[in-house]
Amino acid sequence: MSTVTFVISYAYTVTHVTAKILHILTNIIRDIGLDPSKLVGDWAVYEDGISTWLASRHLQRVTLEVYAPMTNDLVTRWDMDVVYSSVGDGNLWFDAAAVRYAIAKAGLVPSSCRYDIKVKTLPNEPYVAGWSSCSLRSTDGFKRYAVGATIGGKGLATETAYWSR
Protein backbone atom coordinates (compact mmCIF):
# COMPACT_ATOMS: atom_id res chain seq x y z
CA MET A 1 0.00 0.00 0.00
CA SER A 2 1.31 3.46 -0.86
CA THR A 3 0.18 6.93 0.03
CA VAL A 4 0.30 9.83 -2.41
CA THR A 5 0.04 13.45 -1.35
CA PHE A 6 -0.46 16.37 -3.67
CA VAL A 7 -0.30 19.91 -2.36
CA ILE A 8 -1.51 22.89 -4.35
CA SER A 9 0.91 25.69 -3.62
CA TYR A 10 0.11 29.37 -3.79
CA ALA A 11 2.22 29.59 -6.97
CA TYR A 12 -0.06 27.06 -8.68
CA THR A 13 -3.09 28.99 -7.48
CA VAL A 14 -1.67 32.24 -8.90
CA THR A 15 -1.07 30.54 -12.26
CA HIS A 16 -4.58 29.05 -12.28
CA VAL A 17 -6.32 32.31 -11.31
CA THR A 18 -4.30 34.35 -13.81
CA ALA A 19 -5.15 31.96 -16.65
CA LYS A 20 -8.84 31.89 -15.75
CA ILE A 21 -9.08 35.70 -15.44
CA LEU A 22 -7.69 36.02 -18.97
CA HIS A 23 -9.99 33.22 -20.15
CA ILE A 24 -13.04 35.01 -18.70
CA LEU A 25 -11.99 38.32 -20.28
CA THR A 26 -11.58 36.67 -23.68
CA ASN A 27 -15.02 35.02 -23.42
CA ILE A 28 -16.74 38.21 -22.30
CA ILE A 29 -15.19 40.26 -25.10
CA ARG A 30 -16.08 37.68 -27.75
CA ASP A 31 -19.55 36.86 -26.41
CA ILE A 32 -20.68 40.50 -26.15
CA GLY A 33 -19.83 40.93 -29.83
CA LEU A 34 -16.31 42.38 -29.87
CA ASP A 35 -13.00 41.16 -31.27
CA PRO A 36 -10.63 39.80 -28.58
CA SER A 37 -7.52 40.21 -30.78
CA LYS A 38 -6.36 43.27 -28.79
CA LEU A 39 -6.32 41.16 -25.62
CA VAL A 40 -4.73 38.21 -27.37
CA GLY A 41 -2.06 40.44 -28.94
CA ASP A 42 -1.00 41.78 -25.53
CA TRP A 43 -1.57 38.51 -23.66
CA ALA A 44 1.97 38.31 -22.26
CA VAL A 45 1.75 41.83 -20.79
CA TYR A 46 -1.61 41.10 -19.14
CA GLU A 47 -0.44 37.71 -17.89
CA ASP A 48 2.79 39.14 -16.48
CA GLY A 49 1.05 41.99 -14.64
CA ILE A 50 -1.80 39.95 -13.22
CA SER A 51 0.38 37.06 -12.06
CA THR A 52 3.05 39.37 -10.59
CA TRP A 53 0.52 41.35 -8.57
CA LEU A 54 -1.43 38.26 -7.49
CA ALA A 55 1.82 36.69 -6.25
CA SER A 56 2.77 39.85 -4.34
CA ARG A 57 -0.85 40.27 -3.13
CA HIS A 58 -1.06 43.80 -4.57
CA LEU A 59 -3.82 43.10 -7.10
CA GLN A 60 -7.27 44.21 -5.96
CA ARG A 61 -9.32 44.20 -9.16
CA VAL A 62 -9.15 43.48 -12.88
CA THR A 63 -11.61 45.58 -14.91
CA LEU A 64 -12.81 45.30 -18.49
CA GLU A 65 -14.20 48.65 -19.65
CA VAL A 66 -16.26 48.69 -22.85
CA TYR A 67 -16.76 52.18 -24.25
CA ALA A 68 -18.08 54.12 -27.23
CA PRO A 69 -15.02 55.43 -29.12
CA MET A 70 -16.76 58.57 -30.44
CA THR A 71 -17.70 59.83 -26.96
CA ASN A 72 -15.35 57.81 -24.72
CA ASP A 73 -18.45 57.03 -22.59
CA LEU A 74 -18.75 53.75 -20.73
CA VAL A 75 -21.11 51.20 -22.30
CA THR A 76 -20.57 48.36 -19.81
CA ARG A 77 -17.94 47.24 -17.34
CA TRP A 78 -16.88 43.91 -15.86
CA ASP A 79 -14.98 43.68 -12.56
CA MET A 80 -13.11 40.76 -11.08
CA ASP A 81 -12.38 41.60 -7.45
CA VAL A 82 -9.56 39.61 -5.87
CA VAL A 83 -10.14 38.06 -2.45
CA TYR A 84 -7.10 36.91 -0.47
CA SER A 85 -7.58 34.60 2.50
CA SER A 86 -5.76 31.93 4.45
CA VAL A 87 -8.57 29.41 4.07
CA GLY A 88 -9.40 26.97 1.33
CA ASP A 89 -8.89 23.29 0.77
CA GLY A 90 -6.42 23.76 -2.05
CA ASN A 91 -8.76 22.72 -4.84
CA LEU A 92 -8.56 24.84 -7.98
CA TRP A 93 -11.97 25.74 -9.39
CA PHE A 94 -13.70 27.88 -12.01
CA ASP A 95 -17.45 28.53 -12.37
CA ALA A 96 -17.77 28.85 -16.15
CA ALA A 97 -21.56 28.42 -16.06
CA ALA A 98 -22.05 31.49 -13.84
CA VAL A 99 -19.91 33.57 -16.18
CA ARG A 100 -21.75 32.36 -19.30
CA TYR A 101 -25.11 33.11 -17.67
CA ALA A 102 -24.01 36.63 -16.70
CA ILE A 103 -22.69 37.30 -20.21
CA ALA A 104 -26.04 36.23 -21.68
CA LYS A 105 -27.91 38.50 -19.24
CA ALA A 106 -25.63 41.47 -19.92
CA GLY A 107 -26.18 41.14 -23.67
CA LEU A 108 -24.40 42.37 -26.75
CA VAL A 109 -22.82 45.79 -27.25
CA PRO A 110 -22.58 47.76 -30.51
CA SER A 111 -19.80 46.40 -32.70
CA SER A 112 -18.26 49.88 -32.87
CA CYS A 113 -17.36 49.70 -29.17
CA ARG A 114 -13.77 49.41 -27.95
CA TYR A 115 -12.40 48.03 -24.69
CA ASP A 116 -9.61 48.55 -22.17
CA ILE A 117 -8.36 46.23 -19.47
CA LYS A 118 -7.34 48.01 -16.28
CA VAL A 119 -6.25 46.91 -12.84
CA LYS A 120 -6.45 48.34 -9.37
CA THR A 121 -3.45 47.62 -7.16
CA LEU A 122 -2.33 48.47 -3.67
CA PRO A 123 0.40 51.12 -3.31
CA ASN A 124 4.03 50.12 -3.87
CA GLU A 125 3.17 47.28 -6.24
CA PRO A 126 6.10 45.73 -8.13
CA TYR A 127 6.89 47.38 -11.46
CA VAL A 128 5.70 45.42 -14.51
CA ALA A 129 6.72 46.53 -18.00
CA GLY A 130 3.85 47.56 -20.27
CA TRP A 131 1.59 48.89 -17.49
CA SER A 132 0.98 52.51 -16.51
CA SER A 133 -1.37 54.44 -14.26
CA CYS A 134 -4.85 55.32 -15.51
CA SER A 135 -8.32 56.10 -14.27
CA LEU A 136 -11.65 54.36 -14.71
CA ARG A 137 -14.56 55.79 -16.68
CA SER A 138 -17.55 56.98 -14.66
CA THR A 139 -20.25 54.48 -13.71
CA ASP A 140 -22.82 57.22 -12.99
CA GLY A 141 -26.21 55.98 -14.14
CA PHE A 142 -25.09 52.34 -14.10
CA LYS A 143 -26.07 49.56 -11.72
CA ARG A 144 -23.67 46.87 -10.53
CA TYR A 145 -24.82 43.24 -10.79
CA ALA A 146 -22.93 40.60 -8.80
CA VAL A 147 -22.17 37.31 -10.50
CA GLY A 148 -20.45 35.83 -7.43
CA ALA A 149 -17.28 33.86 -6.84
CA THR A 150 -16.04 32.59 -10.19
CA ILE A 151 -12.39 31.49 -9.78
CA GLY A 152 -10.49 30.13 -6.83
CA GLY A 153 -7.88 28.03 -5.16
CA LYS A 154 -6.02 27.89 -1.89
CA GLY A 155 -5.97 31.38 -0.38
CA LEU A 156 -7.13 33.21 -3.50
CA ALA A 157 -10.42 33.79 -5.32
CA THR A 158 -12.19 36.28 -7.56
CA GLU A 159 -15.69 37.69 -7.37
CA THR A 160 -17.12 38.87 -10.67
CA ALA A 161 -19.65 41.63 -11.32
CA TYR A 162 -20.83 43.65 -14.30
CA TRP A 163 -22.25 47.15 -14.75
CA SER A 164 -25.26 47.95 -16.91
CA ARG A 165 -27.81 50.74 -17.40
Residue 10 above 90 pLDDT? no
Residue 4 above 70 pLDDT? no
CA distance 5 to 12: 15
What is the band of 147 on the pLDDT scale with cuts at 50, 70, 90?
Answer: very high
Tens digits of residue pLDDT in 46-87: 999 999 999 999 999 999 999 999 999 999 999 999 999 866
Domains along the sequence of the chain with CATH: 10-132+146-164 (3.30.900.10)
More confident of the two residues 8 and 140: 140
Q: What is the distance in angstroms between the CA of the first residue and the CA of the last residue of the chain?
A: 60
The predicted structure's pLDDT at residue 5: 46
Residue 6 above 60 pLDDT? no
Helix (H) / strand (E) containing 41: helix 37-41
Tens digits of residue pLDDT in 98-144: 999 999 999 999 999 999 999 999 999 999 999 999 999 999 999 99
Check: CB of residue 74 under 8 Å from CB of residue 137: yes
Sheet containing 93-94: order of strands: 93-94, 143-153, 156-164, 74-84, 59-67, 114-121
Residue 151 above 90 pLDDT? yes
